[in-house]
């Protein structure tokens, strides 16, 4: 199965990369663009586990390595079909 992890900056944390993209989009002529926030998207192939156990494992991975929980939130989806 596949674990999909979405890591986003907490609200209130400055996102200079997102601001740069927002300004560049405006310069390129895109109207109506508001705030841009950039995060990470991580896919992990998981072997030999049920979905519940996989979710617990992936949450631990996020806490220990993948997300910086001081400034980032994470959301986990488990896709059993893959």
Q: Which of residues 37-76 bind a copy of itself (CB under 8 A)?
A: 37-49, 57, 60-61, 64-66
* Smallest distance, a copy of itself to C-beta of residue 79, A: 13
Interaction between residue 8 and a copy of itself (CB under 8 A)? yes
In whole angstroms, how large is the CA radius of gyration of the chain?
16
Interaction between residue 25 and a copy of itself (CB under 8 A)? yes
Interaction between residue 81 and a copy of itself (CB under 8 A)? no
d(CA 44, CA 24): 32
């Amino acid at each position: 199965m596949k674990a999909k992890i979405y890591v986003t900056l907490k609200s209130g944390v400055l996102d200079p990369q997102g601001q740069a993209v927002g300004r560049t989009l405006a310069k390129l002529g895109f109207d109506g663009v508001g705030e841009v926030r950039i995060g990470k998207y991580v896919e992990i192939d998981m072997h030999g586990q049920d979905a519940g156990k996989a979710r617990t494992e992936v949450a631990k991975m996020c806490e220990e390595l993948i997300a910086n929980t001081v400034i980032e939130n994470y959301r986990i989806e488990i896709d059993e079909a893959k």
